[in-house]
Each structure stands twice: as C-alpha cells, then as structure tokens.
Amino acid sequence: MIKAQEIKKSFLVSLWFMFLTFPIMVIRVNPIEKFVEWRWKNMLVVGIGSFLLSFVWRYMLKKKEAGEKRAETGESGKTFLIQRILEERRFYIPLVTGLTIIAVAFPFIFSMYQTSIMTTALMYIVLGLGLNIVVGLAGLLDLGYVAFYAVGAYSYALLNYHFGLGFWSVLPIGAVLGFIFGVLLGFPVLRLQGDYLAIVTLGFGEIIRLVLENWNEFSFGPSGIANIDRPGFFGIQFSLQTASIYLYFLMIGLVIFTIIVVNRLQNSRIGRAWIALREDETACQAMGIDKTRTKLRAFALGATWAGMVGVIFAAKTTFINPASFTFLESAMILSIVVLGGMGSILGVIIGALILILLPEYLRAFSDYRMLLFGAIMVIMMVFRPQGIIANIRRTYKFNE
C-alpha cells in the first residue's frame, strides 16, 4: 500500500528538480531575433520524470533494506543471476564453447571498427585484472596505475624509434620495466595506508606524466612519438585490417594467460597473504607474514601487466603522447575493478566490457550517454556495492 508520506517526499523532490533545472530546461534566449522562449512543456516533463524516478528509487531502497533484514535473520536471499548460473557446473562446457565460437568468429563477422573497439575492451580487461591484484586482493588503493601503463608504451615507442626493436622483443622488456617501477613505487609507500596511500600513488602517476610531457629530449614532449611499428609475425608485416585482427587474437591469448596466472596467484600462498593484508594488516603481521615483501609483490606484479598492455597500446595506435595517460585512465581502470567486484576475476571482465563498450555503443545518445553512464554507476554503488560479481569468501576446514 502506497503511503501518503512517500508521495509527499517524491512530490517535494520533483519540485526541487524543477526549480534547479528551470533556467536550463525552460528559458531559451534567442540573441539574434532578440526574444525569450518559455518551454513550459519541458518543466512538466522534468517534474513528472523526477517524481516517478524518486518514487521508484524509494521503493528499491525499501526492498534492499528488507533483503538485508532477511539476511540478518538467516533467510536465504536471492543469488545474483550470473553467480547462480556459474555455480551450476552443467553450464560450464556449453558456456565456454559458445564464448569460444563467438570470440573466434567476431573479427570475421563484424567490421574493423568493431574489432578495434573489442581489442580496446580486452586491453582494459588485462589492466583491470592487474589492478585487481593491488586493489582487490591486497587492498592497496592505487590511483597512479596509469603510470606503469605509460612506462610500457614509451618503452616500446622509444626502443623502436632509436634502436628499431620490434614488438616481440620489447614486450618482455615492457613487462620487466613495469615490474621495476612497481617496486620503486612500493618502497616509499610501505608505511602508508588508506587516503595517504591514494595521494602518494596519485602523485606518482602525475610525476610520470609531467616528466614525459616536459622532457622533450627524452620523450619528444607533447608532440609524442609517431610511426610506431605494428606487431609482425616472424618478420611478416600485415596490412591495417590484418594487423587489427592479429592484435585482437593476441589480446584474446593475453587475457586467457592473465586469467590463469591471476587465478593461480589468488589461490596460492602469496594470494592468501594479500587477502590477509587487506582484511587486517596488524593481524597479518602478527601471523608471521612479511608485510613489506607482500606489498612489494602486489605493486610489482600488478605493474607488470600494465607494462605489457602499454606495449600493446603503442603498437595498436602507432602514436602515443602524454595526453593518453592522464588520471582519468587510472580512474576508469579503478572503476572497472570496483564495479565488477573487488577480487573477482569474472566481475572485472564484465565490468571492463560494460564500461568500455557501453560509451561506444551509446554514441547515438551522445548528449546523454555520460548522464546514463553516471546513473548506472550510482545505482550499482547504492544497490550492489559489492560489485556485479561479488568475490566469494573461501572457508577452509581441517579434516583429520
């Protein structure tokens, strides 16, 4: 039954929205013909829309609170649809087979533009899984992750420009340089936690970007580096379309490799140490875990994947400059981890596909797509703060 108090609250919200949007939605000044047009119809639409949205929002909050109360009293709540499907093992083989067929056929069915977008999404999946090691498993908030991405990209661009080294020669070099820079960042922040750690990592990312932007003799400054070689295959150089397909399958292989490695790390001793560090740093140290070494491993291994993807990014675009490595990139990768579910491999994959593909396919609604994007993020954080796929806490039992 609808309460009068709820209707009153929604009505007040609609009045407030009409007041706030009145100058934008209602008044339109024509400076050429010198008259003011009053669009009262827009005001009515804003009022009705905000009233209905407010009413639905309160209804969903009530349902969320009721679900939390049922969980506290021991009643079984509804499992998220994707998690329920994955728990049923009979779905595994058909699901993997279907995804494999779609992945293999994708570049041959869709255009080169669609293949390029999907390749970008796959790159962000690997970046998200790399940051998931630092943020999701170890619980270390890293806002400068894009710095390692830039290190990998510039390592390939500079080595290719000065020494003519190819993609496959620089790919492991980019990974090693990412690892080294991860250790260099890890040492100064060993004693920091929470907001202080976030500020230092943010500063590190900005330092790298500003160095690349102002050190013209080294990085060519804002002009960037162009004509970077695309990846070849045993000396064979591909056309633009063939190179796009080749990079797509290369990223498919790297995503599979990353998933296997991150999953093994998560279930290993070092993975359990990261989770312990995330839950309670003092208790973790009291149990005999080396906190310094554990943090350094998290930063170094997370940065390794960013270095590799940076090399692939430079090979894909054939041009890089410091404007490609701003804080917004770090924020996007962090959003992928948080939206997908911290510590969840499948969640990060789904989060990357949503956040990278959704803006591209909403270009028809270019005036409103960022509004829709922000609304989706707000709704997710309110009604499912654990992310799309929540990481299941493992329990261990000792049987004699």
257 and 374 share a domain?
yes
CA–CA gap between residue 321 and residue 319 (Å, rounded): 7
Q: Is residue 101 part of a domain?
A: no
- Rounded to a whole number, what is the largest CA-CA distance in the chain? 89
* Contact by Cβ (8 Å): 96, 259: no
Mean per-residue pLDDT for 63-77?
59
176 and 296 share a domain?
yes
Q: What percent of the chain has pLDDT over 90?
A: 23
Please, which pLDDT band fits residue 38 given cuts at 50, 70 and 90? confident
- Give the residue carrying structure tokens 């500079």: 158
> Alpha helix (H) ranges present in 132-268?
146-163, 167-186, 194-214, 216-219, 240-266
189 and 315 share a domain?
yes
Q: Is residue 293 part of a domain?
A: yes
pLDDT of residue 178: 93
* Contact by Cβ (8 Å): 174, 331: no
Mean per-residue pLDDT for 219-246?
84
120 and 244 share a domain?
yes
Mean per-residue pLDDT for 268-295?
84
For residue 370, is pLDDT > 70? no
pLDDT of residue 46: 81
150 and 207 share a domain?
yes
SS3 180: helix
Q: Is residue 88 part of a domain?
A: no
16 and 148 share a domain?
no
What is the overall mean pLDDT for the chain? Answer: 82
Q: Is residue 400 part of a domain?
A: no
Which two three-digit tokens encode residue 39? Answer: 């669009």
Q: Is residue 211 part of a domain?
A: yes
* Contact by Cβ (8 Å): 127, 145: yes
Over residues 330-352, the pLDDT tens digits come to 888 988 888 888 888 888 998 88
Which two three-digit tokens encode residue 239? Answer: 């056309």
273 and 353 share a domain?
yes
- Least Cα distance to 148 among 122, 196, 120, 185 occurs for 185
Instruction: Report CA torsion sign: 334, 340, 346, 350.
Output: negative
Q: What percent of the chain has pLDDT over 70?
A: 87
Question: Domain holding 136: CATH number?
Answer: 1.10.3470
Q: Is residue 33 part of a domain?
A: yes
pLDDT of residue 45: 83
End residue of a domain, out of 24, 50, 72? 72
Give the amino acid at 365. F
pTM (2 d.p.): 0.80
pLDDT of residue 78: 46
Domain membership of residue 179 as a residue range: 110-383
154 and 19 share a domain?
no
Please, which pLDDT band fits residue 80 given cuts at 50, 70 and 90? low
Q: Lowest-confidence range among 36-40, 292-296, 353-357?
A: 36-40
66 and 159 share a domain?
no
* Contact by Cβ (8 Å): 355, 169: no
20 and 116 share a domain?
no
Mean per-residue pLDDT for 240-251?
89
Which two three-digit tokens encode residue 234? Answer: 């045993």
Q: Is residue 27 part of a domain?
A: yes
Over residues 89-118, the pLDDT tens digits come to 555 677 778 888 888 888 888 888 889 999
Residues facing residue 30 across a β-bridge: 35
Q: Is residue 80 part of a domain?
A: no
Over residues 161-219, the pLDDT tens digits come to 988 888 899 999 999 999 999 998 888 877 777 778 888 888 888 999 999 999 888 88
Give the amino acid at 322. P
SS3 55: helix
Over residues 122-171, the pLDDT tens digits come to 999 999 999 999 988 888 888 889 999 999 999 999 999 988 888 899 99
201 and 59 share a domain?
no
Residue 272 CA: distances (Å) to CA of 215, 301, 346: 42, 15, 19
Query: Total domain count for the chain?
Result: 2
For residue 266, is pLDDT > 70? yes
For residue 9, is pLDDT > 90? no
Mean per-residue pLDDT for 314-327?
90
Mean per-residue pLDDT for 352-378?
75
- Give the residue carrying structure tokens 């093992």: 89
For residue 380, is pLDDT > 80? no
CA–CA gap between residue 334 and residue 312 (Å, rounded): 20
145 and 56 share a domain?
no
